[in-house]
Amino acid sequence: MPKKPSRNKRGKTPMSSRTGPKSVRVHSVKDLLSRALPSLKGVTEQAERQSFWNQWLSVHLSAEVRARVSGVAEQDGQLVIFASSAAWSARLRYALGELEGAIREADPQVQRVAVRVLPGL
């Protein structure tokens, strides 16, 4: 019995094989993301820095003031701490004025500390 001709007139197989360079096996998602998207490296480093400063502030600030911190960002030698309102921003500035030496000890790259208002969502 003769073999029936394929209905695919262009001669392509339904599933093509990989002809490019063989991919390297990856053992973790972190390795995969670091190779595929190098731009994510900056994002993960920034998230680690935010986590560090959040923990540091929770230890060094009073619970009342710490509850009003809505965010932390570090960029180009400047540490920006966001307060939930203008009134808490002023109280946070005074509290951070006393801690400025300790902040520089924790990270010598921080040259300036700023407080801004960012209402919680």
Domain total in the chain: 1
* Structural domain includes residue 51: yes
pTM over 0.75: no
The answer to whether residue 47 sits within a structural domain is yes
**In the chain, % of residues over pLDDT 90:** 55
- Residue 46 belongs to a domain: yes
Residue 8 falls inside a structural domain:
no
Range of the domain at 110: 29-117
Query: Residue 2 has what pLDDT?
Result: 77
**Is the residue at 13 inside a domain?**
no
pLDDT of the residue at 11 = 59
Taking CA atoms, 5 is separated from 9, 12, 16, 121, in Å, by 9, 13, 19, 64
2 within domain boundaries: no
Within-domain flag for 23:
no
Query: Which pLDDT does position 76 carry in this prediction?
Result: 87
Tell whether 81 is covered by a domain.
yes
With a CB cutoff of 8 Å and minimum separation 6, the contacts of 110 are: 74, 77, 78, 79, 103, 104
Nearest to 77, CA basis, from 43, 35, 49: 49
